Amino acid sequence: MKITRHNQTALITGASNGIGLELTRKMLAEGWQVIALIRSGFPADDTVIQEYLRKGQLRLYKAELTDFDNLKQALDQIKTQETKIDVLFNNAGGSLGELSFSKQGREMHFELQTVVPYIIFMELKELLLRGTLKTVVNTSTNAFKFLKGFDPNKLEHPTTFKKLVGSYAITKLALSLWTRELAPLVADEGIKIRSVDPGGNNTMRKGRNSGLPFILRPVIKLFFPPPSKGASLLYEAALGEHKELSGIYIMKGQITELKFVEHGRKILDKVAAIYEREFVKGI
């Protein structure tokens, strides 16, 4: 039986490609209202998506998420024009091919994958409280399972770079750790927040400076499932058997213990301080 969600709204970052695009398609097909917060537009030749945009069931807000001035403008538009959010999918991210830094001066993976999801949550919290599900799903990874050590003090300004298992994995772990730490602090408001590994997916795109090690590319191309698989895992994490639980990390559909949980509070304090100092007071 097909599920319909005509009165529910999801906000999805990174909604224009890969897992985010497949998740957007799935939710639109079920009748969800979808708010897309993305850097660029949707494919012009995707007639189905373009029809949803025309009807207004899919609404687009553009921002370079790692540029705080640009992000604030988009979030202010969302707060002005939208009435509620039932599920927030902090999905934007990716593995970069070289060490780079944001406009604010922090390592790009850390800004995009650790700090920005916290900012989006805090800024859109009132819209979440107006929704019925009050659910946040942060896209994480299982790449950090290979980490032998973890130093929160090196998140903002690392001096070395390693593809996939370097800053990408470390900052996704930091995301999951602050998610776990924040959960009990927002529970009294009815908000449920969890992080999810969408598994390995073939999301490679032509012309992109990929952060994937060269040796992995043919393996991913030949053997990894399409991004619709990851989209289904995010969807189930939001609405499936674990939908009433908060603070958990889900991998392969199962609740999984995180490494280095002793650093969770420090990371939460770090991203909260950046938000207050630079986003709330600094803009």
As a whole number of angstroms, the distance between CA 70 and CA 156 comes to 20
DSSP letter at 111 equals I
Say what the pLDDT of residue 214 is.
43
Helix (H, G, I), strand (E, B) or coil at 24: helix
Q: Which residue has the tokens 């949980």?
A: 261
Q: CATH for 9-280?
A: 3.40.50.720
pLDDT at 2: 46
How far is residue 247's CA from residue 257's CA, in Å, rounded to a whole number?
11
Contact assessment for residue 92 and residue 65, using Cβ atoms and an 8 Å cutoff: yes
pTM of the predicted structure, to 2 decimals:
0.91
Please name the residue ranges forming H helices in 95-205.
Answer: 108-110, 116-123, 125-130, 167-186
Token output for 222: 């030949």
What is the DSSP code (8-state) at residue 101? B
Q: What is the pLDDT of residue 157?
A: 96
SS3 261: helix
* The pLDDT value given to residue 226: 67
What is the tens place of the pLDDT at every residue in 150-206? 999 999 999 888 877 789 999 999 999 999 999 999 999 999 999 999 986 444 445
Nearest by Cα to 70 from 111, 33, 125: 111
**Residue ranges of the chain with per-residue pLDDT less than 50:** 1-2, 201-205, 207-209, 212-217, 219-220, 222-223
